[in-house]
A and B are shown apart, each in its own frame.
Chain A
Amino acid sequence: MIPALGLLAGILAGLLLHPTVPLWLQPYLPIAVIAALDAVFGAVRAVMDGIFNDKVFVVSFLSNVVVAALIVFLGDQLGVGAQLSTGVVVVLGLRIFSNVASIRRHLFRA
């Protein structure tokens, strides 16, 4: 409940404060957001499976974000940043979809 409230508060703050993304962060923020979403959906699914653990969630969240940003950074350095970003988004998107499907099965038996 508290994390959900935190998410809501964050969205509201972002809408109200009109922050500008610093230049060095701009290529990584979208990927980092996708990675974080993956971690969040994974956490919800873990709750359904009855194996949720706060600490694991925090670690997986941070590691997801860092690894995604690292991959994009590496891709940029290697000159394949755009392609690698696409790849990361595809992989994370697949994971989000499968997690959501699992959650759906748990909650609605369908």
Chain B
Amino acid sequence: MSEQPGRHEAPAVTEPPPTADTAWRRLAAVARPKATRANAFAALLALVLGFAIATQVRQTQEQGLESLRQSDLVGILDNVTQSQARLDTEARALQTTRDQLVNGSSAAALSAARERLDSLGVLAGTLPAHGPGITMTIDDPGHKVTAPVLLDALEELRDAGAEAVQIGPARVVASTSFTDAGDGIEVDGTRLTPPYTLTAIGDAPTMAAAMDIPGGISETVRGLGATPRVTQSQALRIDALQTLREPRYARPVPTPTPSSS
């Protein structure tokens, strides 16, 4: 078996090397057509080989999934399934977002929050306000009207439903203070002198009536020798603003907010 052609590992260097001429001559001798059975069979095999090569080359060029191994196909299928699952999840999330946007739940929440911000701004005095209301002027030449009287007037206005109040140049909010100061009154540190002007936005007839009730503000002020004058108006404007102070101690209790989804 050691001399099997095509199999033997000839140590080309050690054996007496045939000359190149010998090699070529041998090749030519083999190439001469001989009508032996083995030669014909070899030709047939070569034919089959050529056919197989051409076929395989074609097959490789137009290779589709059908020529892959089972394990490869399983791998590809796995990949496809995984990416499909991932894309499904993504599509579902996007669908949810789209539904929310279309249904306008976030838009509604946004506009609700904005309205809330507006009303809170009016209450806290950080936003200018306009609307119907009354203007009350107290002419006090004798400087008899004191801070408590002004505070009473404010309470009366609030009772009557005033939503935004301004005294002189000062916006009145929950923390507003009234202090007597010589021949005037300090409102939140701003010194006011007569005549005092109170502007209140709310239901004008109700507030006007509240000022004029017997034993009310108008009567008290008149008893002090001052002159109250109440004017109802359909369009008042309150421009004075308060700067919002961050509370130093009080913190809002966190409330469970409805989740966004």
Within 8 A of A (CB), among B44-59: 44-59
Q: Tell me whether A54 and B39 are in contact in the complex, defined as CB-CB below 8 angstroms, given that A11-B54, A40-B49, A42-B7 are known contacts.
A: yes
Q: Tell me whether A33 and B31 are in contact in the complex, defined as CB-CB below 8 angstroms, given that A3-B43, A49-B10 are known contacts.
A: no
Q: Are B5 and A60 in contact (CB under 8 A)?
A: yes
Q: Are A43 and B5 in contact (CB under 8 A)?
A: yes
Q: Are B50 and A39 in contact (CB under 8 A)?
A: no
Closest B residue to A11 by CB, please name it.
Answer: B50
Closest A residue to B28 by CB, please name it.
Answer: A1
Q: Are A14 and B38 in contact (CB under 8 A)?
A: no
Q: Tell me whether A42 and B5 are in contact in the complex, defined as CB-CB below 8 angstroms, given that A29-B59, A82-B72, A106-B23 are known contacts.
A: yes
Question: Once A and B bind, how many residue pairs between them come within 8 Å at the CB atom?
Answer: 175
Q: Are B30 and A52 in contact (CB under 8 A)?
A: yes
**Count the A residues whose beta carbon is within 8 Å of the partner chain — how many?**
64
By DSSP majority rule, is chain B's interface helix, strand, loop, or mixed? helix
Q: Are B49 and A37 in contact (CB under 8 A)?
A: yes
Q: Are B40 and A50 in contact (CB under 8 A)?
A: no
Partner pick for B24 among A7, A10, A38, A107, CB 8 A cutoff: A107
Q: Are B4 and A56 in contact (CB under 8 A)?
A: yes
CA distance A29 to B40 in the complex (A): 23
* Best-buried of B20, B39, B51, B59 by chain A (most CB within 10 Å): B51
Q: Are B49 and A2 in contact (CB under 8 A)?
A: no
Q: List 27 A-B contacts (CB under 8 A).
A: A2-B34, A3-B46, A6-B44, A6-B45, A10-B52, A11-B50, A11-B53, A23-B66, A29-B52, A30-B56, A33-B52, A38-B6, A42-B7, A46-B5, A50-B18, A52-B5, A54-B39, A54-B41, A57-B38, A57-B42, A58-B42, A81-B69, A98-B9, A99-B6, A102-B10, A106-B18, A107-B20
Residues in B lying within 8 Å of A, measured CB to CB: 3-10, 12, 17-20, 22-24, 26-27, 30-34, 36, 38-60, 66-67, 69, 71-72
